[in-house]
Chain A
């Protein structure tokens, strides 16, 4: 079946790097996403990666994909207090991929 798992909490100091991890079970997953949710708001897409890639970098964000282990990570360099939020990992398929499956979300706390 389809399942996406992530740890629920992460705490880092301002200026350090944050690494949020995610595992998924569906080997048919072809797109993997990271969304960010700030308090009282909806989710916003941060980035996504196609399953034939193993890394994607976008400014302070680095996504690593290990397709063999079905493991996805999001690294935030130089974490700031404004990065405090809930980060959701999600997956979908390219064909018939209207069902996006989300993890439970990782709440990132950034200490000043």
Chain B
């Protein structure tokens, strides 16, 4: 059971380049999320998709777009990468259980923008 799979694990971009981070989950969860992790700042929510066909902004959406391709897949796109987007990106999914929103995370994608 793979859980949440993210690709790529590592990527180096030049300023202005574009790229898409891919995420897929095999747990039949309704909700999916993209977070970024920066030192001393914890995880910050970029975008989320509460269910297939919907997406909403999180705390730090500027410079990103998302697509909920189907129930399994949720991609994050950087149209014109900036050094401030150097970070570790985590995809997560959840199925609310009695009100608690328990997240299952992927292993992360480390992005460096030069």
Q: Do A and B make up one complex?
A: yes
Interface residues of chain A, those whose CB is within 8 Å of chain B, are 4, 8, 30-31, 33, 35, 40-45, 48, 50, 88, 92, 94, 97-105
Across the interface, B99 reaches (CB within 8 A) one of A30, A42, A44, A104, namely: A30
The reply to whether B48 and A48 form a contact with Cβ atoms under 8 Å apart is no
Known: A30-B99, A42-B90, A48-B100. A102 touches B43 (CB 8 A): yes
Interface with A: B14-22, B71-79, B104-112, which one? B104-112
The reply to whether A104 and B41 form a contact with Cβ atoms under 8 Å apart is yes
Known: A99-B58, A104-B40. A41 touches B100 (CB 8 A): no
A-B contact pairs, 5 of them (CB 8 A): A31-B99, A98-B101, A99-B45, A103-B42, A105-B42
- Which chain B residues border A103 with CB–CB below 8 Å? 42
Known: A42-B106, A48-B102. A100 touches B45 (CB 8 A): yes
Q: Check B4 for interface membership: any CB of A closer than 8 A.
A: yes
Q: Check B103 for interface membership: any CB of A closer than 8 A.
A: yes
In the complex, A30→B92 CA distance in Å?
Answer: 21
Docked complex: B26-71 residues within 8 A CB-CB of A: 31, 33, 35, 40-45, 48, 50, 56, 58
In the complex, A40→B90 CA distance in Å?
Answer: 12
CB distance from B93 to the nearest CB of A (A): 11
